[in-house]
Structure 1
Amino acid sequence: MTKTARVYKIEMLIRNRGHVSFQTLLDELEVSPATLKRDLDYLRDRLGAPIEYDRSLNGYRFGKEYRGQRHELPGLWFSEPELFSLLMINQLLGDLGSDGVISRHLQPLLDRIHQMLGKDSDIKVLLKRVKIIGLARRPVPSHVFELIGEALLKRRRLHLRYLTRGRGVASQRDVSPQRLIHYRHTWYLDAWCHSRERLLRFALDAIEDATDTGSRAKDVPVKQVESEMDGGYGIYAGDRVDWVTLMFSPQAARWVRHEEWHPNQKGQLHADGRYQLAIPYSDPTELAMDILRHAGEVSIVSDTGKVAEIVRSRTRNAWEMLSAQKDAG
């Protein structure tokens, strides 16, 4: 353990436990008494840590004038529960499908966290007991993810070779990145497209190549991005929205009424236990699929667009397939 890690560990132990004996510090840090004394002197004399020895407690604690106040060493500071939370967050970040780029850049911080905790067995148990299952994940090449992240923060314009899946054709685009989105195991970029002169949403895994143009990005107000890209349900963007009103059975309502399908949704719990939910959408496809997950427990009360039409069509097709299989059997 480095000296920096040791001094952070000493203050963390005192902060979390109130007071810590000299022997406990020796056991936790696994250093000689002389080294520990030098670390304590360094904390007090060089870093200004308000640490004092209390004979009645036979341990080190913060001085009376600092109790109840927050003294922080230079640099990053976390309590032990916060450090364990960071490790769990790292597990989540490692599952985001960006070719490990996020975890790789966080590795120096993670190494420092491991040193500060000092209990390898606890860390290993934590990491074994946190499991993230990701299905249909679309990985993004690390060089693309890093370039877009840098351009987003430094406000740089990018040139993309982008594959439009619907047409199966790659096109050249100059874009000004505005926002990164991670949705259902896929990364997306909201950007101002200079060839179309409007905001568009790009799937990062469909970007075949990306380069920095050397020019500054066009800044679009965040409120405008949110207004144009977040109006509809799910990942489909659009500032023009339709509304569908759903009615869930009492059985389904027990769960659905606690769910957020869209930030602007309107829900109402009826006296008989049914739950009415109104949802805005721009494209009906994704919403229709999610409604079908509740087949038999939901009905469509009203719809200003085509989501009801898609739900009816897919339900009819499903019944026809089942009938055909039954006849064939």
Structure 2
Amino acid sequence: MSQFERIAYLDRAMREGGGARTAEVAARFEVDARTVKRDIEYLRDRVGAPIEWDAALRAYRYTKKFDDLRFADEKALIVHALLRGFLSNEHYVPLLSLELLDEVSRRVSRDYRRVADRVRYLTPVSEEVALEHFTIVVQAMALGLELDLEYSDRGGAKSVRAVEAERLVNYSGRWYLLAWDLRKADFRTFHLSRIEAASLSRRKAASRADEASAHSRDQAAEAYLQGGFGIFKGGTLTQAAIRITGRAAPLVARQTWHPSQTIVEGVSASGEPFSELRLPVADWTELLGKVLSFGPNAEALSPPAFRKEWKAAIKAMGELAGRGSTSIP
């Protein structure tokens, strides 16, 4: 039995059962009393749990409400499912060791371990990772060197870029590189599968010249990642407004599309429920696709440029449908 499992049990006993008795815990997990007391000290000193010995109960208990470890078993089960789903994709197996899954499995409680194989996470999209490019990017970050890229954007235009690699991000099953573009003097996001060639430069990355520079760049990179909706965040942020209606409205009301979003729920004049979502966006492409995926249950309200693109996309789809095809009955 792992320490994590014992700590989760101690927390549950003090939170729900009124107290934890050393002898009972030791017998359940087949450890000595000193091990249990060390676990209690860890909870109190490292986790900050408000624990005291109650002489009347002859047990350890919480002196006040403490929910930091609530649902610890369930969270471990979710992490196990996420990791297993990630490893089930053959493209990712070379990047991760199955030993990691075994380690997480040991952190799932004995009761939940029986159902762990029945809790699944399926990646919505996956694509093959170009390991040679992935490796070079990681080496550039580890050695603090600039990176030379040959890149093809989503429109097919090719370019050569000198960048400082800052973050590798897996977003919706796809890998992206967040880098500082030296020519543009700004952050840019590169889809890893569109990198046609990558090589390490002998030039040192200026952002890694000293601790202060590295700290400043790291803060800027994290702020950039928390910018507008989606993975492509370059450009000026604009507030977008979307109205979701029908059965999708209450579902969207419970979703988080962006940390700084706002959602207003209401009922239209016709009695139909709606959720109006507002969030910052710099690039409309991804948001437009998401809105269109709701079909007639989503409307792009503002800004005018976004609404215009939404209308144009609907018109183009209507023309395509009206054109007919011999391959579709």
Q: Give yes or no for contact 1:160–1:209 (8 Å, CA) kept in 2.
A: yes
The answer as to 2:157 corresponding to 1:163 is no
Write out per-residue CA displacement over residues 122-181 of structure 1, whole angstroms, 9 at most, x where no aligned residue.
Answer: 75751x3133323441232345435534654x4712424333144646654332222232
With structure 1 as the length reference, what TM-score do the two structures score?
Answer: 0.64
Q: How does 1:140-219 map to 2 (within 5 A)?
A: 140-149=129-138, 151-152=140-141, 154=142, 156-166=144-154, 168=156, 171-207=159-195, 208-211=197-200, 213=202, 215-216=204-205, 218=207, 219=214
CA positional deviation for 1:41: 10
CA positional deviation for 1:324: 3.4
User: Which residue of structure 2 aligns with residue 35 of structure 1?
Assistant: none
Q: Give yes or no for contact 1:155–1:217 (8 Å, CA) kept in 2.
A: no
Give the CA RMSD over aligned residues. 4.6
User: CA 1:138 to 1:114, structure 2 compared with 1: closer, same or farther past 3 Å?
Assistant: closer
SS, match of residue 274 in structure 1:
strand
The answer as to 2:93 corresponding to 1:100 is yes
User: CA 1:321 to 1:64, structure 2 compared with 1: closer, same or farther past 3 Å?
Assistant: same
Higher Rg: 1
Unaligned 5+ runs, structure 1: 30-38, 51-62, 70-78
User: Which residue of structure 2 aligns with residue 75 of structure 1?
Assistant: none
CA positional deviation for 1:268: 2.3
User: Which residue of structure 2 aligns with residue 302 of structure 1?
Assistant: 302
Q: Which whole-Å CA distance do the structure 1 matches of 2:125 and 2:255 have between them? A: 23
Unaligned 5+ runs, structure 2: 14-19, 41-52, 63-71, 208-213
Q: Give yes or no for contact 1:91–1:130 (8 Å, CA) kept in 2.
A: no
Q: Give yes or no for contact 1:100–1:142 (8 Å, CA) kept in 2.
A: no
What is the total number of aligned residue pairs between the two structures? Answer: 288
The answer as to 2:318 corresponding to 1:315 is no
Q: Give yes or no for contact 1:177–1:217 (8 Å, CA) kept in 2.
A: no
Letter in structure 2 aligned against 1:203: H
CA positional deviation for 1:315: 1.6
User: Which residue of structure 1 aligns with residue 284 of structure 2?
Assistant: 284
Write out per-residue CA displacement over residues 190-231 of structure 1, whole angstroms, 9 at most, x where no aligned residue.
Answer: 111224332111122233434364734514545543555654
With structure 2 as the length reference, what TM-score do the two structures score?
Answer: 0.64
Q: Which whole-Å CA distance do the structure 2 matches of 1:244 and 1:109 have between them? A: 41
CA positional deviation for 1:308: 1.9
User: CA 1:200 to 1:322, structure 2 compared with 1: closer, same or farther past 3 Å?
Assistant: closer
Sequence identity, in percent? 17
The answer as to 2:247 corresponding to 1:254 is no
SS, match of residue 162 in structure 2:
strand
Q: Which whole-Å CA distance do the structure 1 matches of 2:283 and 2:8 have between them? A: 54
